[in-house]
Amino acid sequence: MKKILLLLFFSFLLPKTYAQEYFPNNESVQNKTSNFTAFTNAKIYVTPTQVIEKGTLLIQHGKVIGVGTNISIPKNCTTINLDGKSIYPSFIDIYTSFGIEKPKATTERNPSYDTNRSGFYWNESIRSEVNAYQAFKYDQTKAEELLKAGFGVVGTHVPDGIARGSGTLIALNNFEKKDQLLSDKVTNHFAFTKSVTTNQSYPSSLMGMMALLRQMYYDLDWYKKGNSTTKDLSLEALANNEKLVQIFASEDKLNSLRAAKIAKEFGLNYVLKGNGNEFERIEEIKKTNSKFIIPVNFPEAYDVSDPNQANQMELKDLRFWNQAPTNLKVLADNGIIFALTTDKLKKMEDFRPNLLRAIKYGFDKTKALEALTTIPAALLGKSNVMGTLKTGSLANFVITSGEIFDEKTVLYENWVQGNKFVVNDIATKDIRGNYDLTINAEKYKWKIDGEITAPKSEITTVDAKKIKSKLTMTNNWISTVIKPNDSTKTSFTRLIGYVEDTQNLSGKAILFNGNEVKWSAVKTSPFVKAIDSSKIEKNNMIIPTTFPNVAFGNLKKPTAETILFKNATVWTNEKDGILEETDVLVKNGKIASIGKNISDASATVVEAKGKHLTSGIIDEHSHIAISNGVNEGGHNSSAEVTIQDVVNSEDINIYRDLAGGVTTSQLLHGSANPIGGRSAIVKWKWGAPADEMLYKDQPGFIKFALGENVKQANWGNVNPTRFPQTRMGVEQVFTDYFQRAKEYDLAWKNYNSTGKKGKGKAPRVDLELQTLAEILNKERFISCHSYVQSEILMLMNVAEKFDFRVNTYTHILEGYKVADKMKEHGVGASTFSDWWAYKFEVNDAIPFNGPIMHNAGIVVAYNSDDAEMSRRLNQEAAKAVKYGNVSEEDAWKFVTLNPAKLLHIDDKVGSIKVGKDADIVLWNTNPLSIYSKAEKTLIEGVVYYDAQKDEAQRVAIAKERSELIGQLLQEKNKGMTTQEPKKTEKKEYHCDTLEE
Amino acid sequence: MISKKIYLLILAFSISILTQAQQTPAAKQSKSILILNATAHLGNGEIIENSAIGFVDGKITLVADARVIRLAAGAYDVTIDASGKHVYPGFIAPNSTLGLVEIDAIKSSDDEDEIGAMKPHVRSIVAYTADSKVIETVRPNGILMAQITPRGGVISGSSSIVQLDAWHWKDALIKENDGIHINFPTTFKRGGTRFEPGNIEANKDYSKQILELSSFLSNAKAYLGESSKERNLVLESTKGLYDGSQTLFIHANEEKQIIDAVQFTKESGIKKMVIVGGYEAYKTAELLQKNNIGVLLRRVHEMPENDDHDIDLPYKNAKLLTDKGVLVGLENSGAHERMNTRNLPFLAGTCAAYGLDKEQALQLITSNTAKILGIDAQCGTLEQGKDATLFVSEGDALDMRTNKLTNAFIQGRMISLETHQTKLNDRYKTKYNQK
């Protein structure tokens, strides 16, 4: 007992012993020692893989002085015997916002376009000048939570903005303020989130954020070379912090791929902070070669006890609940290096149970320990001072009752820089067992079970009658109240006693009448934990991950087949027209032959008599499968952004498009500004990652827009202040930008031809002007949103002035009024079949528009601009027959060959021709008919949609739903905390959708 | 081919078109008309291959097989030979806002949603613009009648049924104040704020909101039950619900909502109800069938609600309900709904592609809708004694390939198939022919 008291005394004094010498001391007199502390007979995990049995850990001045089995203990040393206990390096979480106050959000609702700051970067979400160490205030309460969870060191930063500035490294030293700051700047932070402090409009989309980051890096380079005439503290901070660990909070599997893409472009090395869904795209995650920081915030089970509510849940959410605990295992199995973080946990107490859950689902314990110690230390480049218990490291360690990731293990103490933080009293004796209890010569049976630190009492008489009792134990003092069985009486008996020997307990009993007598208890048998077999938590059956991991995803990525379609009606879109009873062979992803009586031994034969075979539908104007924003409307020009950055491979609308016979789409930027963003031309390879969906070497396209949307005519009450507000202004925007692009292009051309060799300074890289220069150089095509005749003529006029041609007018609902001028200019048209009356500028829109332009010799396509209509474009084509008497053959080209021509991909797709990509659709009847349905949709010979397989999928989905609901109900029965059913709102983008 | 008389009639129309901004409503039928040899789709599931359809004074007088009957020469003033063509009863667009909004984005042209939550007294018909330019564009696709319905609030107001060739709203009326519309509380709602929208989560106020609604109605019932001294125009406007002259249209899509709505109506003592929307109505089909409750099924051309729903669920929904004996009509509310009304026939076409036979699909926009709206004694089929509201199409009117109208009649009056849009078409054809 005395030893313990002494120890407590010393440990209390310890921190003072190495306070910095030059600090004035007004507390007492100088009290400096160089005492050691030795922890002996412990199982010591020097590193996760280097374990010493019965070893000694020697520390002094907050650092490890020695560790091993042969450590000589100096004389001025306090020794703590840890026989049977284990020592682990304490955990490190490099991704927290510990001690950082949440930045205050702006209350300004009106948009602002220019910055209000002076001396910083032009965009207020670039806050690289922020330093966490300056904003930091040690949070004692939060620190205790972290200490209890086993953490000794945390990295912290201000989680606000796209560039968030530097992060600092803090020791969770609750005793000595001066030692808390380990390093002022260790990390430099980024994320795809706008600052809450600004009402600046730009960037309003994910693609805008990506473009902004790129421009920021170009500007950094340019600034470093001394080109700027203005002071920019944001860029200076960025330059100063280049050597720090660059952490990118991508917070999503696809965003991780996106951040990694930027890193690759600029030769950076981001450590990516994920969100736990990495397993869904593990192959691609692995290919990034990035290191990760991963949270353990698995979703709570949904309360599905109300079937009506359960019914509303999306399968993918139910499935994610089931699969999320396997994320860490999948990452580890794939050799991905990652640290763990407590970020996004609802409460710190969830950390351990969640981690144990991951371990139950196969996450290796050693890997878990590494992810909490050596890996975060290594990520910070501080392996020599933390993360292990090697000599010279910080004396940051936890003492446990046993194997740290064993459910029964108790965490006793968490030492930080040689300061002890008590989690559970290590000295608590294990009194559990069965005893013969004697109180005042009366005999009882006494069973003590429960936890060591919270034992429970069960007293019975010799004839096995139960007597109510309650046991508490603190500092090895036991106190038991024995209650009378008649609850109306107050005849309590109280036992107290100090535990010295766990075989023989004894003390004083205070009887109900106030008399004091002795009691004693002799252990008759040791404690055996009763295992209630009904309570053993069995692992849930894990639903296999599909590609993508949503309903109708494929268990395996499909592959190209050799297929022979026999006796089909083939709409060739070529000179041959529509061929009856014709065979088409698909081989190696291409259309191999077309004709009668074709045979191929290796082919799967599909009898298609009475059915129709066409090339896949091409949607020139689509906004499906886009992540977080179709418009970058924060500026009147956003040529720097590209939809290629934000293709969302997991969108169910891809599958639905396939079911409607659509194989290719141009994903266009919206129409919020005159100069929009660059397009992505994609093939709907359902299951493939976004990068594989992008056309290889695709022609460059950019969206332009005219009219009501760009002049913010229908933007509602939020006062529109952005230039332009009239069609007159729109012309000026174009003229101005093209003039600047011309000058920009010239400057670079001059530099490239002479400047490089001479002393000429490189012009600033401007991604926006660079893109516009591509248009001037005929390397990029414009697809322009347009409605009324005046603006149609205007843009052609501007283009002609700058010596290029507008490639496509999209929407173009008044094209019929100026078809002759359009033909002259050489522009194509991608329009709606019959839309009108939704705004003032479509008052003269007519369903004869397409046919009139077609008859004028313009290449005409019908597009969707709408997820739902996209899957019925075959029917839209039929409206050209209905309203304009266009021939069926020509009408069909409105949604196949013509959009292929407009997109300059008609050398690969758009018709059934030998050598072209096997992007084809088998229809049950004439594809223009309302009664037609796609039976098979192929892209490059791969069957991505098959009506029969779809039926099987539906059965599987129903089965999976009921399995998951069953698991969730079971979870609730077990008393696990649950959350109410909910789902995220689906976002369907149209041209004028401004929200993210 | 069209007889000379008809040709003259058309010519007369074309002349009037040139002088009018909108189409001029046709004059009362003065001459009897016979449509001969068309395939007649009666709208009740039956077909007559070589039909003779006659109408006099706005009413159908003859529906017969032309090969069987004998007609005295000159029995009808005008004969239209429609060989190879198809004749249909006029299509009906229920739950429509035609004439209440002219241009979506222009607030000043928008009269569909009065402020307030409980507004049964608000009447759509008085804001109905009979000469809307949008209306004339839906007629050439066969839509000849509509139920004009107010929007918004919990009780949106009172709808009326109109024919689509009229000088003004009084002239257009088929049935005034046919029903009152309720937007039933939803079990799920969007959380968060306008600026930071949250998840879609359980509506904790669901039961409370139903209670508010039912206490409003029981209050109304009590008011109507005794001769109160003070008049309450709001409560008084619900009278028709209790005497059976008005239908209660409950807009609801979720299974639970629909079950609660049926119970709610029973308890309120309301005589006749209809479900509008009905996305999950197929799950409650037996209940609806047993209680004789029709469904105006929401826009067929839409996306499934959940990612894991059958990708063709909206397409086959009508089949699922019809198979279980529920009376189904199609409605088309949603994005761009006014101009989109003209695609109503193709919604029915899709239902045929996904399980119904074509004549059943036709019923979804003709006889079924008429029954649901309570106007089936007057319209919805080609039957003797009913309004001669019908049209001739070159081919299958449910398929956009072949939906091409040659003649359309509303109550026997041959209406113009010209529109603001056809005029522009002609104008620019002229332009390009000038060269």
What are the tens digits of pLDDT across the range A491-505?
Answer: 788 899 999 888 899
| pLDDT tens digits for range A123-157 | 999 999 999 999 999 999 999 999 999 999 999 99
Distance in angstroms (rounded) separating the CA atoms of residues B3 and B192: 65
Residue of chain A with shortest Cα separation from B135: A837
Topology of domain B91-379 in CATH is: TIM Barrel (3.20.20)
Distance in angstroms (rounded) separating the CA atoms of residues A38 and A58: 4
Q: Does A498 touch chain B (CB under 8 A)?
A: no
Question: pLDDT at residue A18 above 60?
Answer: no
Query: Which residues, 6 or more positions from A257, have their beta carbon under 8 angstroms from its beta carbon?
Result: A281, A284, A285, A288, A689, A690, A691
Exposure b/e, A302-319, CB count within 10 A at least 16 = b:
bbbeeebbbbbbbbbbbb
pLDDT mean across residues, chain A: 93
Residue A401 is which amino acid?
S
pLDDT of residue A533: 57
pLDDT of residue A639: 98
Of B202, B302, B336, the CB nearest to A835: B336
Top-level class of domain A433-526: mainly beta
Bridge-based pairing of strands B47-56 and B59-65 is antiparallel
Q: Which superfamily, per CATH, for A546-616+910-972?
A: Urease, subunit C, domain 1 (2.30.40.10)
pLDDT interval class at A535 (50, 70, 90): low
H/E stretch holding A292 reads strand A291-295
| pLDDT tens digits for range A541-565 | 999 999 999 999 999 999 999 999 9
Topology of domain B4-89+413-433 in CATH is: Urease, subunit C; domain 1 (2.30.40)
Find chain B residues with C-beta within 8 A of A881's C-beta.
400-401
Q: Residue ranges of the domains in chain A?
A: 91-140+149-347, 433-526, 546-616+910-972, 636-909
| pLDDT tens digits for range A743-782 | 999 999 999 988 666 677 889 999 999 999 999 999 999 9
Distance from CA of A840 to the nearest CA of B (A): 7
Judged by CB atoms within 8 Å, which residues 870-889 of A form the interface with B? 872, 875, 878-879, 881-882, 888
Find chain A residues with C-beta within 8 A of B316's C-beta.
none
Distance in angstroms (rounded) separating the CA atoms of residues A497 and B72: 121
| pLDDT tens digits for range B374-407 | 999 999 999 999 999 999 999 999 999 999 999 9
CB contact under 8 A, A881 and B105: no
- Best of B283, B400, B435 to mutate (most A CBs within 10 Å, chain A): B400
Question: pLDDT at residue B210 above 80?
Answer: yes
- Best of A199, A662, A833, A930 to mutate (most B CBs within 10 Å, chain B): A930
Question: pLDDT at residue A260 above 60?
Answer: yes
Strand order in the sheet with A982-983: A982-983, B197-202, B188-192
Of A834, A837, A929, the CB nearest to B401: A929
Angle at A490 between CA A489 and CA A491, to 5 degrees: 100
CB contact under 8 A, B104 and A950: no
Question: pLDDT at residue A381 above 70?
Answer: yes
Contact A889, A912 (CB under 8 A): no
pLDDT interval class at B11 (50, 70, 90): very low
Question: pLDDT at residue B166 above 60?
Answer: yes
Distance from CA of B107 to the nearest CA of A (A): 10
pLDDT of residue B195: 60
B280 by Cβ neighbours in 10 Å (0-12 / 13-18 / 19+) ranks as: buried
Question: pLDDT at residue B38 above 70?
Answer: yes
pLDDT of residue A532: 59
Q: What percentage of residues in chain A have a pLDDT greater than 90?
A: 80
Q: For B231, how many CA atoms within 13 A lie in the half-sphere containing its CB?
A: 4
Q: Do A91-140+149-347 and A636-909 have matching folds? A: yes
pLDDT interval class at A465 (50, 70, 90): confident
DSSP bridge pairs for B328: B295
Q: Which superfamily, per CATH, for A91-140+149-347?
A: Metal-dependent hydrolases (3.20.20.140)
Distance from CA of B311 to the nearest CA of A (A): 7
pLDDT interval class at A441 (50, 70, 90): confident
- Any alpha helices (H) in A187-341, and if so which ranges? 206-224, 233-240, 253-265, 282-287, 307-310, 315-323, 327-333
Q: Full-prediction pTM beyond 0.90?
A: yes
| pLDDT tens digits for range B238-285 | 999 999 999 999 999 999 999 999 999 999 999 999 999 999 999 999
Distance from CA of A20 to the nearest CA of B (A): 48
- Best of B193, B203, B401 to mutate (most A CBs within 10 Å, chain A): B401
Name the more confident of B97 and B202: B97
Exposure b/e, A658-671, CB count within 10 A at least 16 = b:
bbbbbbbbbbbbbb
Question: N- to C-terminal Cα distance for chain B?
Answer: 33
H/E stretch holding B234 reads helix B233-236
Least confident span in A17-31, A314-328, A648-662, B409-423: A17-31
Least confident span in A193-202, A445-454, A524-533, B143-152: A524-533
Least confident span in A479-483, A939-943, B219-223: A479-483
Find chain B residues with C-beta within 8 A of A928's C-beta.
400-401
Q: Report CA dihedral (B224, B228, B234, B237) to the nearest 10 degrees.
A: 40
pLDDT of residue B191: 77
Mapped onto helix, strand or coil, the DSSP state of residue A744 is helix
Distance in angstroms (rounded) separating the CA atoms of residues B135 and B204: 41
Question: pLDDT at residue B435 above 80?
Answer: no
Question: pLDDT at residue B18 above 90?
Answer: no
| pLDDT tens digits for range B78-117 | 999 999 999 999 999 999 999 999 999 999 999 999 999 9
- Best of A107, A312, A320 to mutate (most B CBs within 10 Å, chain B): A312
How many A-B residue pairs are in contact by the CB < 8 A criterion? 157
Q: Does B193 touch chain A (CB under 8 A)?
A: no
Closest CA to A11 of A395, A290, A358: A395
Question: pLDDT at residue A902 above 80?
Answer: yes
CB contact under 8 A, B404 and A933: no
pLDDT of residue A672: 93
Contact A813, B421 (CB under 8 A): no
Top-level class of domain A636-909: alpha beta
Q: Does A949 touch chain B (CB under 8 A)?
A: no
Of B104, B310, B425, the CB nearest to A848: B425
DSSP code string of A574-623: STT-EEEEEEEEEETTEEEEEESS---TTSEEEE-TT-EEEEPEEEEEE-
pLDDT of residue A718: 65
Q: Does A487 touch chain B (CB under 8 A)?
A: no
Q: Residue ranges of the domains in chain B?
A: 4-89+413-433, 91-379
Of A855, A882, A985, the CB nearest to B400: A882
| pLDDT tens digits for range A949-986 | 999 999 999 999 999 999 999 988 888 888 888 877 77
Question: pLDDT at residue B290 above 80?
Answer: yes
Contact A708, A843 (CB under 8 A): no
pLDDT of residue A758: 65
H/E stretch holding B264 reads helix B255-268
pLDDT of residue A528: 80
Of A713, A879, A980, the CB nearest to B202: A980
Highest mean pLDDT among A653-662, A708-717, B13-22: A653-662
CB contact under 8 A, B104 and A837: yes
CB contact under 8 A, A852 and B187: no
Q: Does B432 touch chain A (CB under 8 A)?
A: yes
Distance in angstroms (rounded) separating the CA atoms of residues B83 and B60: 20
Distance in angstroms (rounded) separating the CA atoms of residues A300 and B377: 57
pLDDT of residue B228: 67
